[in-house]
Each structure stands twice: as structure tokens, then as C-alpha cells.
Structure 1
């Protein structure tokens, strides 16, 4: 196996250092943990920013400490209008009330410590926290974690499972605040409700949903890939100096329901390039993609790191 998922963690021979070294998801009901929620300007840790941090420390099932702060960055604190509409956070609030990003992440990283982290769709939050921690040379955020969304999908199968859905079903609240601390407190209530009603069989089902699959094996059953497969039905071209083995990467793409192509065409969905090839003017694939894009082609140019991050998010979903 050279590209595989074990216990929900993606492993890629030759390119493992391009992946975030996050901890392992371990569905369970704990008495000691840190619950957290992060508000951001968007969905991508590569281009978006944290606007608010919220966390709650729990010991023996009781809340013993809380953390909340708006986060201010040195150059840019603009907030998209749809985000302000969602949670009320504005650029003015961040500028006037926020604390510097370096101070905020240092305090929050210390607040988390070595605790198991719990959150709702928590891998999203971990990506932002991991990258900001790395930016300021803080201890790697490799804490193991529990995703309450994983529990919700087992308890409420074949239903919409946003945090607000679970809150409403359990009679916790009718409205989600979309603020770090408030959502952390509400997620604790959902987590406690699950704790009261889960059976051992349901917990085993949740554990069994964590992916384990050899992506370069001779046969990959579709059910092993689950939902939200980012490669399915995509035409993909690999280009430049990639750290992952290109033959193995091609086999993985085909096993996941994609199509590996040799040349960039109008039908290409992803052009995956080595991280240092992304802006090179002498890359023929990139130049051809730019010309086709000008003519209306829908080609997405992805760095190897970005592509592997997509795969890692899928592996942990």
C-alpha cells in the first residue's frame, strides 16, 4: 500500500509531510475534554481567516473554564457580507474588539493543551487551528478528537444533520448562534443528549464508519469510499514535480471513480501540479490550461498540497 486510509487518516508515500499531522478521530463519550468551535470568513483554510475562537473545558462532565475572543489579523480583517448576515461579526467589531491573531492562537492552543478535542464537523475547525498554530510555531495540534457530526449521522440516519437540526430534535434550542462560545455550549448539550441515548451498538456503528481502505489496491469496493469523494467523475491531469508517485496516484484516481488523462483538454476538471510548479511560466500544461480557461473551460488548477488536503478531508469525513 502506498496511498491508503487507515483509521480515517490518509497516508501517501513520499508526500506525507504535505499533510497536516492531525490526531485520530475516536468516537466516544468522555468526561474530560475541550469542546471548541471556530468562526471563519469562509470554508478554505488556504484562503480564508478565523474571525472568532470559542472553547469550553470540561472535567468530570462539568464546565470548568471557557475561552472566547474575536481574532484580528495585521493586514486584512474584511468579513464577507454573507458571513456578517449569518453571525453578525463585522470588520469593525474585529478591529475594535479583537485581539491579535498571534496572541489569540497562543492562548487558545494553551487552553486546549493535551485534551481530546470535541466539536461538530470538527475537522473543519482543526484545519484552521492547525495552520494558524503552525504559522506561529506552536506545538503541533495533533490531539485526538471526537466529531459529534459522526454520532449524529448514526443516531439520525438518512436525515439532514446540521448542528441546528440536532438541537431542534432534542429540544435544546430553535436557533443556532453561529458564535464560537455559544455553539460550543450548544454542542455540549447535543453531545450529552447523545450520551444519554446511545447504545453500544450505535457507538460501534459510528466507529465502523471511519474509513479504512487501500486506494491503490487491485480492487476498491464503492461502499468503502463513502460519500463526498472529491475524485468521483473527475478528469484529472498530473503535472510537474509531484512528491507522490504518479503511477500510484493514477491508480488511486481510477480506483476512486476518476479518470487520469495525459493531456489537458476542455474536459479536464483538475490540473494537479507540484507545489513549486504552480506559477512557472514554462509549464506547458499550465499554459494550455490558461488558454482553455480563457475560452470557457472549467479547469481547476490545484497544488499537490491542496489536492492532498482535499483527500485528507474526505478520508476523515
Structure 2
């Protein structure tokens, strides 16, 4: 049994099937790839959805094909007002010009093919896209990828590194378009700019930021945990029946700066429940948590899949 991060991806004995089987991040400069960007209604792939798919296919550093489609769903296509303000995408626009999500995603998956994927903070996009390929039984999106944000952090240390910041610093544009195809093209320009100016030392630094760590060996140092550790200072209880070994899961939490509990208490932050019983109200631990919540506690119930993918996001950050 083991729980570890290898090449930036989380590995968990007994529960690996609960993790998105995405590819590995491989910082570097290549000449053939698909650069992509998507627009969504929010940040959470479990409750938000894709509104636009955009990409360019690159061969020998030149764009040879483009992809751009708005996406419409059989049921809700509501777009929050703040998203419309950001990119101009409205519910009405999706209903009038959107391609049915299954059709759009099938075409998009075919467009990507076996290419290495590149994007800006691309792991965000991959979560939404991976889930759609699973939903529609398309080839798994397990392509390896390059995150231009990783390169930006090495090139512009101790600075804000939004895509907007990078395109302004490189003189590419003054505004970010917040549309899939346009942002894909701008990200390619940022990537090309880095290609022209990166040193071997900067690339080695970016590559060295990919996490490799045994989460059961010892308590992690602050520099190993970073600023995106989702369980820092959290009190976490694992209900019986999860796929992970409970003792190993508890040791992992403690090594990552959280505190594992054997029972739910009023101070518990997260209660982790196995996927098959997540929606059951007969779980004794959840019943106890609900009693505490009625009296002012704020215990969140997380499925084991949600919890592990949250940790995988940290591993890939």
C-alpha cells in the first residue's frame, strides 16, 4: 500500500480508479502540439460546465488548423452574469449558435488526437475536458501536457502571472480576449516568446518544480507543501468503507499539515465518505456531522473521489 506523487501526479493504492487518469506535465519546448483553451460557467468541473471550446493545431511551430465552437446542453445553459461580463457569452448566444455538447466534444477530442496538449493553467481545462470524454465514452484524455503558467512562474518569479500579465509584458496585446480560440493563439505567442528567451537554467528550474514525494514517509516541509495545499490545518475524518487504507490516509493527512481524526467532532472540517455511500443519509458519521452542523458547525461531506482529485490538483500545481 502506498500514497505518493510521481512526476506531478497522485498515486493511491486501492483508490487509483477514483482519480482522473490524466497525462503527465512535461515542461519544455516542442514544435508539434495542440494548444487549447476553454470557457466555462465557473471553476468547479463537478457543478459548472463548458461554454466554449477553442484550440489550434501546431506543426513545426506554425498553426495549421483551428477549432472554435460554442457548446449547448440538453438542459440548463444558464450563464452567470459575471461570466457574460467577462467574455460576452450569454445563454441566448449558446442557444442560438451552440453545438450540442456531445457532438462538440467528440469533434474536439478528434481534433486533439494524440498530440501533447499545451495551455495556460491547462490542468483547469483538462479537468473539464477529461470529465466530458468520460461522460460520452470518448478516448480518455490522458495526453501529456505542457503548462505555460509553469514556464511563466520560472521566467517571471515573484510576480503575478495571469495570461493577461504575460501577453502585456511580451507586447502581444493589451487585453485578454477570454475566448477559446483567441486565447489559444495568444498563449501560443507567449509560448513562442518563452522559447526565444528561456535559458537551460530556467527550463531546469521549471522542470524541478514538478512534485515527486512519498506522502507516507515523513511530514512535508513548508516548501514542499507550497501555497496551494488544500488540507493545511484542516481536521479530517475518514468514514469506514473508503478505498484507501484508513491508517495510511490518516498518515498522509498528518504529513501534509492537516490533522486526521478517528471520529467526527464539532471542529471537523471534512468528512470523507466512499463514493457508493456518499448520498446515503444512513451513514452514522454523516448523521453525527449533521447534528453538529445544526448547532453551528461547518462540516463538509466530501466523496473520496472529490477529495483525492482535490489532492491531485495540489500534486499537479
Matches within 5 A, 1:7-26: 7-26=7-26
Secondary structure of 1:276 counterpart:
helix
User: How do residues 81-120 of structure 1 correspond to structure 2 at under 5 angstroms?
Assistant: 81-120=81-120
Please give the per-residue CA displacement for 1:153-202, whole angstroms capped at 9, x wherever unaligned.
11111111110011111111111111101110110111111111100000
Instruction: Give the CA RMSD over aligned residues.
Output: 1.0
Contact 2:219/2:256 (8 A) holds in 1: no
Q: Distance in 2 between matches of 1:173 and 1:21?
A: 35
Q: Say which SS state the counterpart of residue 139 (structure 2) adopts.
A: coil
Find the aligned partners of 1:212 and 1:148 in 2 and give their Cα distance.
20
Give the structure 2 partner of residue 251 of structure 1.
Answer: 251
1:302 maps to 302
Q: What's the offset of the Cα at 1:81?
A: 1.2
Q: Quote the offset at 1:218 in angstroms.
A: 3.3
Q: CA deviation at 1:219?
A: 4.4
Normalising by structure 2, what TM-score? 0.98
Relative to structure 1, the CA distance from residue 260 to residue 153 in structure 2 (aligned partners, 3 Å threshold; closer, same or farther) is same
Distance across 1 between alignment mates of 2:132 and 2:261: 36
Give the TM-score taking structure 1 as reference length: 0.98
- In structure 2, the residue matched to 1:134 is 134
Structure 1's unaligned 5+ residue stretches are: none
Worse-matched range after superposition: 165-174 or 288-297: 288-297
The Cα shift of 1:225 comes to 2.1
Paired residues in the alignment total 317
Q: Residues 18-97 of structure 1 correspond to what in structure 2 (within 5 A)? A: 18-97=18-97
Distance 1:46 1:303, change over 3 A: same
The more displaced of 239-248 and 249-258 is 239-248
Alpha-carbon separation, structure 1, partners of 2:74 and 2:162: 33
Matched, 1:283 2:287: no
Which 4+ residue blocks in structure 1 deviate beyond 4 angstroms?
none
Is there any run of 5+ residues in structure 2 with no aligned partner, and where? Answer: none
- For residues 291 and 83 of structure 1, the distance between their equivalents in structure 2, rounded to whole angstroms, comes to 37
